[in-house]
Amino acid sequence: MDAIMVNASNFTPFVFHFNPESVRSTKKIDWHKSPNNGGASKKNFFTGFENRELSFSILLLDQVSSLGLRTAIDWFEQLSEPDPGLIGIAGSFFGNENYPPPQVFFQFGHSLSPLLWDVMDLEINEDIFKGDGSEFLGLPERAIANITLELVTDSDLNRANQIAKKMSLITGSVNSLYKEFQSLRQGSRKELTTIL
């Protein structure tokens, strides 16, 4: 099953032909260090959490389209451009309103259900350009999209996922205890067999 990302503004999906090989998840924990005025000890004060971030790379490869990867690259590039939404599109061509980029629904490698994310960073590297006589157009056949997403923590999807994660961690704890109990039991049997 291929991973999928959906633009939450216009609900256009993009199905990955190659899933990310690795997904990096980070969540910064903020501590404030109190000043040490000549003493031997220092105390840390917890001040909060940053939102979770995901970073991954997506390989885009196309050798059949006459436009190469132009349409796929256009889909990703719109994630880093101002997005007034479907309702505000008519007025977006006038003036210089500071619309944020669209949010995305994404799940692969991180959650039990799709979550809502802000696009924080996007880099697209294009190479292997078409060699069928249209080289002057610069149509790439391969590209790598490096993307960083930040979790929207106040969404209902995130709240539901937090409940599912609590249930999952309890299940994981029970499973680990059961496996340890089984391992100890089998070890006792082996010892008893050796003694006999």
Mean residue pLDDT across the chain: 80
What is the per-residue pLDDT for 163?
78
Q: Residue 110 has which token pair?
A: 């991180």
Q: How many angstroms separate the CA atoms of 20 and 43, rounded? A: 41
Q: What is the number of helices (H) and of strands (E) in the chain?
A: 2, 9
pLDDT band at residue 48 using 50, 70 and 90 as cut-offs = confident
Residue 145 in this model has a pLDDT that exceeds 90: yes
pLDDT band of residue 195 (cuts 50, 70, 90) is low
Above 80 in pLDDT, residue 80?
yes
Give the pLDDT mean for 26-35: 83
pLDDT at 57 over 90: yes
Locate 37 and state its tokens. 């005025």
More reliable by pLDDT, 112 or 156 = 156
Q: Which of 24, 20, 25, 27 is nearest to 58 (CA)?
A: 20
Q: Which residue has the tokens 């959490």?
A: 49
Return the closest-CA partner of residue 140 out of 64, 62, 75. 62
Alpha helices in 35-130 (DSSP H): 70-77
**In which band, very low, low, confident or very high, does the pLDDT at 32 lie, cut at 50, 70 and 90?**
confident
Burial 58-67 (b: 16+ CB within 10 A, else e): bebebeeeee
Q: In what order do the strands lie in the sheet with 103-106?
A: 13-15, 4-7, 103-106, 115-129, 140-151, 53-61, 23-26
Query: Going along the chain, which residue ranges are E strands?
Result: 4-7, 13-15, 23-26, 29-33, 44-49, 53-61, 103-106, 115-129, 140-151
Q: What percent of the chain has pLDDT over 90?
A: 21
